[in-house]
A and B are shown apart, each in its own frame.
Chain A
Amino acid sequence: MRTTVHRPFSRDQRATIVYGMLAFVLIIVILQLWLLTATMNAWLGGDDSVVLPAAAASLGCLGLNGGLLWYLGRLERGRRQPSG
């Protein structure tokens, strides 16, 4: 019978994970900044066809970032709770 041991990540492992998340989040935030400026320029120029797709894309990016933050919180909670 196989059993799986769920061992919480050590601090060094979590630090590596946070570095990876941070790189991903930074890329997404830069993408959102570009999206916001491009959308604003287009909308001020009278082109409103991109407004809703851009808003949806930006919300999707926020969802990705929020998901990563939620995963980080789960890592921290898993560290504090005793493994059973």
Chain B
Amino acid sequence: MSEVTSDPRGPIDPQVNTSGREGLTGTAPANLYGPLVEREQITIAPDFAPADTQPAWRQDFPIDWPQDQYVERRDFMKFMVLTSAAFAVGQLWIAAQNWWRRQNGSYEIRRIASVDDVAVGGAIVFTYPAEHDRCLLVRTSDTQFVAFSQKCTHLSCAVIPRPEEGIFFCPCHEGRFDLRSGAPTAGPPRRPLPRILLDIRGRTIYAVGVEERTV
């Protein structure tokens, strides 16, 4: 590799009897003890050639490439640490939501419908546990009812019951869930629909809780 730069102080002349220095034994050029140029302040071209041999435009607008790369990697690392902080905040947000969900306590018992309100193979929409949480109650046989959240576990579109096919269908991305278990059978959803726990007392159907599942 060629010499990166020449010493700005110039070479030291060891001869004391050269022209103009006769009798000046022990003296040195006035700039010998001048301020040193830090190596890191020296601009280095991409080809590591001396600055004098670089094209004019590069001499006018020099870029210190090693310094530039160092600053880029350093700033990228700072950004990655910021990203790490964002992920940690996300985890804390989940923990806070979980704490809030626990503080709300157990689910209330709410009347949904009468057994006679739903025909076999039919479905009705109700809200549970909150006012805007839409759910589906499906009567699969004379004595069996199932209820699930209507919110697709992929991107929260409203699923449509298709009892004749035995599925809940999500029209947004053609996701399919099993009608009896709520498990995903096709499409992008990976988690089953939250199941609404039912209690049938006499001829009345009550919702008593929500069972969220991962599989």
Contact = CB atoms under 8 A, between A and B. Distances in A.
Given A10-B40, A43-B98, A45-B191, A36 B67 contact: no
Interface residues of B, number: 36
Given A39-B94, A52-B95, A69-B77, A62 B85 contact: yes
Interface in B195-212: 211-212
Interface in A22-57: 22, 25-26, 28-29, 32-33, 35-36, 39-48, 51-52, 54-55
A24 B74 CA distance: 13
Given A15-B69, A22-B73, A46-B213, A39 B81 contact: no
Interface string B118-162: 000000000000000000000000000000000001000000000
Interface of A is mostly: helix
A9 to B, nearest CB: 11
8 contacts: A11-B67, A22-B73, A29-B83, A41-B191, A52-B95, A58-B91, A61-B87, A72-B77
Interface of B: 39-40, 66-67, 69-70, 73-74, 76-78, 80-81, 83-85, 87-88, 90-92, 94-95, 97-98, 101-102, 153, 190-191, 194, 211-215
Lowest 4 A-B CB distances belong to which pairs? A46-B212, A45-B214, A32-B87, A58-B91
